[in-house]
Structure 1
């Protein structure tokens, strides 16, 4: 190849990257045909916002930890991002309003709660702002859904493994979680009266979440898991992973993390995985069926981008998942020094589980992790601070990872990685 052709190719590549995003400048707007996967960092839990190629939108979780809990503001947890001048739900909604397709920016089409933990759907706390009706407080999903109304709200069926009333009945009368659950139910009641549709997430379905504005035949969302039902990888068939539950014996009940909803997003050959807080490592005393990652991985196969289950905590991202999914990009949503577990990081980067190159990105790595784990953190991650956007180009053959500054409002680009070429699937 002569120097002239090489120079033209390099110039073309640089120009294409500048059109997608350029460090130090505002993020260029989503354009029809793009698939944008935003991982929003508030320091108080998970939140991801997806813009599909036709402009259909989806929120996956909106966490908000209780700021009156001493742990939340301790050195063990991450600080609020950008700052404490607004509540986390306000920062999430404000971010979404900046990046949403303007022609469809009248709310959010789909909102998914992966499971009912406060860092994924919000926590009641004294002093939280009240809704205008005074029927519930604004926190996490209830706050975002009030500012940006949901068309569909998807959740797991709360009657499994036993009814939520049975679970709550085992807790002390004044427990914090009871108030959080009552608050969430009040939100559902009011928003349903205003047109929101509540649906149980259907494992195995490839049609429950679908494009609303125009057809892209090479795009789809595959529901993989909900509660104990896990997609088999064929058609819409599912299998029950958990053994029969004894309603009188709580030891037979799967925990909330193991009940997480899981989904795949396909765009042409591109595949993205996200799985809430699914566990995969069975510790001493655990039932073998607490490993839900192994059957999930068997159904899913290889992907291009994967979020780390349970924020990369010690009980998740097992060896079977790592060697089966083999993503080129791992994304970790961090809010505490538990993320990642040292052994989890070793598995994720291990060449013995797969040899292909991989890049790691974290939203909010803590100094404590770097001090305890050591230089392996800086050696492994391409970026450790900021909102993480996966921008997939039309057709799904290439994508970029774009890091956005989370230290101030706005959507300033910090760094751009890529283009990544989508790998051929078996």
Structure 2
């Protein structure tokens, strides 16, 4: 209870008079986020207005990027390019991650995770995009980050053998796979996710005190026992043409632990069952059941109408949610009601959105008082040892935008 009271008391914008000193964090000279220090865990949800991108800097300097989207849709339906359209999203993400990693003496990625193969997570194609030196693929999204901040290992949901669960037959998917093929030809690491494993993503330093488990992916979920997993889908021979698993259902989900701090992210996992006709299509519930309670969670599928079901909120029970939103449909009203815990007499949760478009704000007007931020990079900074954390929002309209909101400290419940 004390942790809840503390977090509500110390959550406000700098313009509103809340100084960062109140949170115990000194402000950088330029008003930006103070640099990472050894023992601190940073999780950066990067706002490009074009899809998901999360950069993690571990307490020992381990670097991990989860997704980098470059979706292209009609103006008015999606957010503006952040910070602007002078560079591609992949380059902006790389520049952001490199600035943060500089404090740890890093200029490369240990791991790059593609949760699933959709443009807003791995990169889209377009006639004006540059091509790789060998000409086999366009440089976009994850492959563009890889050019500026090379990754030692890329983890895909199933590469190279997708079996009965192939990616979409689409230019962006073919382009993404061509990049993976080029990495393999060049002797660079690509691996299929090992669902259930807590060893596939390892700290650079043994005993660093944090761990990442691959909870779910490619239609499988951790059993909760050792590093075993089980299938989420029925035998494909029993399914009709309209009953096949879709790409979102194959998303990789991760749980990160550092001391008493826990964090969940699940790509575009969904909970929709076609109103109960196909219960197995709810892949979200078994995943969050395997995960258990965390301190911070990322809203599945951007808080879209087919995700973030009742069990998602109940099982994870975080103190804060991050919505990686960028589209006019992000988030849905029912999802916002659950995420903010907007029930009579219930304690509200802190919810942070990377981009809430005006139309989405109108639809969700009744829940806006509980929304801590509507635009910007959302940074979770976990204190050494993992007993507490703070959440900062950075202005994403400028490349090195300052802090616009500081929340915390939050006490980890363990």
TM-score (structure 1 length as normaliser): 0.87
Distance 1:266 1:101, change over 3 A: farther
Query: Which residue in 2 is equivalent to 1:172?
Result: none
Residue 321 of structure 1: aligned partner: 312
**Unaligned ranges ≥5, structure 2:** 1-9, 11-18
Q: Which residue of 2 aligns with 1:212?
A: 204
Q: Does 1:420 align with 2:410?
A: yes
Farther off after superposition, 197-206 or 248-257: 248-257
Q: 1:255 — aligned with what? A: 246
Question: 1: distance between equivalents of 2:29 and 2:341?
Answer: 30
How far residue 285 of structure 1 moved from its aligned partner, in angstroms, is: 7.4
Q: CA deviation at 1:237?
A: 2.0
* Paired residues, number: 396
Q: 1:162 aligns with which of 161, 164, 176?
A: 164
- Is the 2:37–2:104 Cα contact (8 Å) retained in structure 1? no
Shift of 1:137: 1.2
* Residues 44, 377 of structure 2: 8 Å contact kept: yes
Give the superposition deviation at 1:411: 4.4
Q: Do the aligned partners of 1:24 and 1:413 also contact (CA within 8 Å) in 2?
A: no
Cα distance in structure 2, aligned partners of 1:335 and 1:22: 28
Equivalent-residue separation in structure 2 for 1:397 and 1:38 (angstroms): 19
User: What's the CA shift for 1:212?
Assistant: 1.3
Asked which structure has the greater CA Rg, the reply is 1
Summarize the Cα distance change of 1:344–1:231 in structure 2 as closer, same or farther, 3 Å threshold.
same
Aligned counterparts of 2:157 and 2:406: Cα–Cα separation in 1: 35
Q: Could you tell me which runs of 5 or more consecutive residues in structure 1 were left unpaired when the two chains were aligned.
A: 1-9, 67-71, 169-176
Check 1:372–1:381 CA distance in 2 against 1; reply closer, same or farther (3 A cut).
same
Give the superposition deviation at 1:135.
2.8
User: 1:33 aligned to 30, 35, 39, which one?
Assistant: 39
Q: CA deviation at 1:339?
A: 0.5
Task: Supply the distance in 2 between the matched residues of 1:269 and 1:330 (Cα, whole angstroms).
Answer: 17
Q: Distance in 2 between matches of 1:148 and 1:353?
A: 47
Q: 1:387 aligns with which of 352, 377, 383?
A: 377
Greater shift after overlay, 233-242 or 99-108?
Answer: 99-108
1: CA distance between counterparts of 2:287 and 2:164? 23
Indicate the SS of the match to 2:67.
strand
Aligned to 1:61: 67
- What is the match of residue 82 of structure 2? 81
How far did 1:410 drift? 1.1
* Structural RMSD (CA): 2.3
CA offsets 1:309-330 (integer angstroms, 9 cap, x no match): 0000010010011111110000
Alignment correspondent of 1:137: 138
C-alpha separation between the residues in 2 aligned to 1:144 and 1:331?
23
Select the residue among 277, 288, 302 that pairs with 1:297.
288
Secondary structure of the corresponding residue to residue 237 of structure 2: coil
| Aligned residue runs from structure 1 range 70-109, under 5 A | 72-109=73-110
Is residue 326–residue 354 contact of structure 1 (8 Å, CA) maintained in 2? no
**1:243 maps onto 2:229 in alignment:** no
How far apart are 1:156 and its partner, in Å?
0.6
Per the alignment, residue 184 of structure 1 pairs with 176
CA contact (8 A) 2:340 2:371 kept: no
TM-score, normalised to structure 2, is 0.90
Partner residue of 2:331 out of 324, 327, 340: 340
Mapped partners of 1:323, 1:149: distance in 2:
38
- Any conservation in 2 of the 1:82–1:408 contact (CA below 8 Å)? yes
User: Does structure 1 residue 112 correspond to structure 2 residue 113?
Assistant: yes
Aligned to 2:152, what secondary structure does the other structure show?
strand
For residue 127 of structure 1, report the CA deviation from its aligned partner.
Answer: 0.9
CA contact (8 A) 1:23 1:415 kept: no
1:286-341 CA deviation, whole Å, 9 max, x = no partner?
Answer: 52111112111221111100000000001001001111111000000011011000
* SS of residue paired to 1:114: coil
CA contact (8 A) 1:313 1:339 kept: yes
- What do the CA deviations read for 1:129-149 (whole angstroms, capped 9, x no partner)? 222333321111111112211
Give the Å deviation of 1:249. Answer: 5.0
Partner of 1:173: none
Mapped partners of 2:344, 2:273: distance in 1: 18
Distance 1:362 1:24 in 2: 24
Contact map agreement 1:22 1:413 (CA 8 A) in 2: no
SS of 1:62's partner is: coil
Q: Distance in 2 between matches of 1:411 and 1:100?
A: 17
Contact between 1:23 and 1:413, CA under 8 Å: does it hold in 2?
no
Distance between the aligned counterparts of 2:120 and 2:32, measured in 1?
29
Of 256, 267, 270, the match for 1:276: 267
Maintained 8 Å contact 1:110/1:151: yes
